[in-house]
């Protein structure tokens, strides 16, 4: 079978000219092109009638992008043959769900037959029967909650090109079923102890490992888990974060500017407007903002475990002295911002869902 490989070396030189290879394929002079990252967005070969998967991927987005190379209509083309040599059987049962647009769940995979899926109009999908048996076998295999969450972490890591996911990456790309599993199982929820989760997976950087040896680790855990039935603590934490130049103490002026900026942005004002005692916040001056902050978020942060938030003369709120060295460490700064971003987004997601249910 005539075939060629298209790839680039360290100097950017192609083993075979990409345009020439495509022309040969379209003319029938080649039957197969093997490539790595050489046929990405913008390359369109409508006559393509066979796709082979040779690179492992657990990402449904990447899977559909690769598959889509052969889904264009063309005269004389009757169907697309897909040869999957990835050996990625752990997620093989997802394929019928991805192609039909249905949401995957283990329960659905266990009971649905191939005939039960509704594929797009005029599309016929035929899986080798041995694969269908494999789908059933894999769906029936009982994974622990921890295994499922870990598997999703590594799927997202691969989707990100090998980059260790931040909390916001998990929040953004995690499958809904797994995210709900996390929320319902506090002990296994990586968002409640993300650095410990990474440590257990041996995914910590050297800098994060050093962070784990001091009080900064515990402080970040407090920020991860502090109660947040409303958004009031967020502007206080953002005042400490200070765009990456973390403060050891925040003044009344800092509290005022951070709170005012937070509640004037996007939909952050909703918590304030819902409460009859704060719905007039748009007319508040500095004194009123500071007074309300002292009564609520400042007070409750001081009570939130291990005494990391303390009183200090000249400040509305301060951090414990033993954090002084760690607050300038890039890993600490990065994780503090990641926690604030995730907790803010998760808070608004939950509020939206509760609003929908109401």
Cβ burial, residue 250 (10 Å; 0-12/13-18/19+) = buried
CATH number reported for the structural domain that contains residue 109 in this entry: 3.40.50
Same-domain pairing of 209 and 346: yes
Indicate whether 189 and 223 sit together in one domain: no
Token pair belonging to 61: 């987005």
Beta bridge partners of 5: 34
One domain for residues 214 and 157: no
For residue 209, the model assigns a pLDDT of 93
Q: What is the 3-state secondary structure (H, E, C) of the chain?
A: CCEEEECECCCCCECCCHHHHHHHHHHCCCCEEEECCCCCCCCCCCCCCEEEECCCCCCHHHHHHHHHCCCCCCCCCCCCEEEECCCCHHHHHHHHHHHHCCCCCHHHHHHCCHHHCCCCCCCCCCCCHHHHHHHHHHHHCCCCHHHHHHHHHHHHHHHCCCCCCCHHHHHHHCCHHHHHHHHHCHHHCHHHCHHHHHHHCCCCCHHHHHHCCCHHHHHHHHHHHCCCCCCCHHHHHHHHHHHHCCCCEECHHHHHHHHHHHHCCCCCCHHHHHCCCCCCHHHCCHHHHHHHHHHHHHHHHHCCCCCCEECCCCCCEEECHHHCCHHHCHHHHHHHHHHHHHHHHHHHHHHHHHHHHC
Tokens of 172: 């953004």
Residues 189 and 247 grouped into a single domain: no
Q: Judge contact between 263 and 272, C-beta under 8 A.
A: yes
51 neighbors 66 (Cβ within 8 angstroms)? yes
Q: What is this structure's pTM?
A: 0.62
Residues 10 and 87 in one domain: yes
Pair 271, 226 in one domain: yes
Strands 32-35 and 3-6: parallel
When divided into structural domains, the chain yields a total of: 3
* Together in a domain, 175 and 210: no
Q: Is the dihedral of CA 149, 151, 153, 159 positive or negative?
A: negative
216 with 200, same domain?
Answer: no
Domain boundary among 152, 177, 204: 204
Residue 75: the pLDDT is 82
Same domain, 48 and 173: no
Q: Which residues contact 342 (CB under 8 A, 6 or more apart)?
A: 167, 168, 171, 191
Crossing angle of helices 330-357/215-225, nearest 10°?
10
Range of the domain at 9: 3-140
Examine the fold and report which residue of 204, 223, 245 is the final residue of a domain before the chain moves on.
204
Q: Are residues 133 and 148 in the same domain?
A: no
Same domain membership, residue 156 and residue 105: no
Q: Tokens 């076998």 identify what position?
A: 137
Q: Which of 32, 35, 151 is nearest to 89 (CA)?
A: 151
Select from 181, 204, 227 the last residue of a domain: 204
b/e map 254-268, b = 16+ CB within 10 Å: bbbbbbbebbeeeeb
Tens of pLDDT, residue by residue, the chain (358 residues): 577 766 655 555 656 677 787 788 777 787 777 776 555 555 677 888 888 777 666 566 666 667 777 777 888 888 888 776 655 545 556 777 777 777 767 667 667 776 778 877 777 777 665 555 555 665 556 668 888 899 899 999 988 989 999 999 999 999 888 999 998 988 899 999 999 999 999 999 999 999 989 999 999 999 999 888 788 899 999 999 999 999 999 999 999 999 999 988 877 788 888 888 888 898 999 999 999 999 999 999 998 867 899 999 999 999 999 999 999 999 999 999 999 999 988 888 877 666 644 4
Q: Given this model, what pLDDT does residue 304 score?
A: 81
Are 193 and 303 in a shared domain? no
**Tokens standing for 116?**
């039960």
């Amino acid at each position: 079978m005539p075939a060629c490989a298209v790839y680039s070396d360290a100097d950017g030189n192609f083993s075979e000219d990409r345009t020439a290879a495509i022309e040969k394929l379209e003319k029938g002079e080649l039957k197969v092109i093997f490539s790595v990252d050489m046929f990405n967005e913008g390359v369109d070969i409508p006559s393509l009638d066979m796709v082979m998967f040779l690179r492992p991927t657990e990402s449904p987005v990447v899977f559909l992008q690769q598959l889509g190379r052969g889904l264009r209509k063309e005269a004389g083309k009757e169907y697309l043959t897909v040869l999957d040599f990835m050996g990625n059987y752990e997620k093989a049962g997802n394929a019928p769900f991805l192609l039909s647009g249905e949401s995957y769940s283990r329960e659905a995979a266990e009971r649905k037959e191939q005939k039960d899926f509704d594929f797009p109009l005029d599309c016929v999908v035929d899986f080798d029967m041995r694969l269908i048996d494999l789908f059933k076998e894999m769906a029936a295999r009982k994974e622990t909650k921890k295994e499922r969450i870990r598997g999703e972490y590594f799927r997202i890591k691969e989707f990100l090109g090998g980059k260790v996911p931040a909390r916001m990456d998990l929040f953004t790309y995690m499958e809904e079923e797994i995210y709900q599993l996390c929320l319902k199982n506090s002990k296994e929820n990586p968002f409640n102890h993300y650095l410990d989760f990474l440590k257990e997976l041996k995914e910590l950087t050297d800098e994060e490992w050093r962070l784990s040896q001091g009080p900064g680790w515990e402080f970040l855990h407090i920020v991860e888990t502090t109660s947040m039935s409303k958004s009031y603590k967020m502007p206080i934490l953002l005042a400490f974060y200070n765009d990456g130049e973390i403060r050891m103490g925040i003044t009344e002026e800092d509290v005022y500017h951070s709170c005012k900026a937070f509640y004037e942005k996007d939909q952050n004002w909703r918590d304030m407007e819902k409460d009859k005692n704060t719905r007039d916040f748009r007319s508040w001056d500095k004194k009123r903002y500071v007074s309300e902050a002292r009564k609520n978020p400042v007070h409750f942060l001081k009570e939130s475990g291990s005494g990391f938030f303390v009183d200090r003369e000249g400040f509305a709120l301060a951090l414990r002295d033993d954090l002084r060295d760690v607050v300038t460490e890039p890993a600490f700064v990065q994780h503090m911002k990641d926690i604030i971003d995730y907790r803010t987004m998760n808070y608004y997601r939950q509020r939206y869902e509760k609003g929908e249910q109401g």
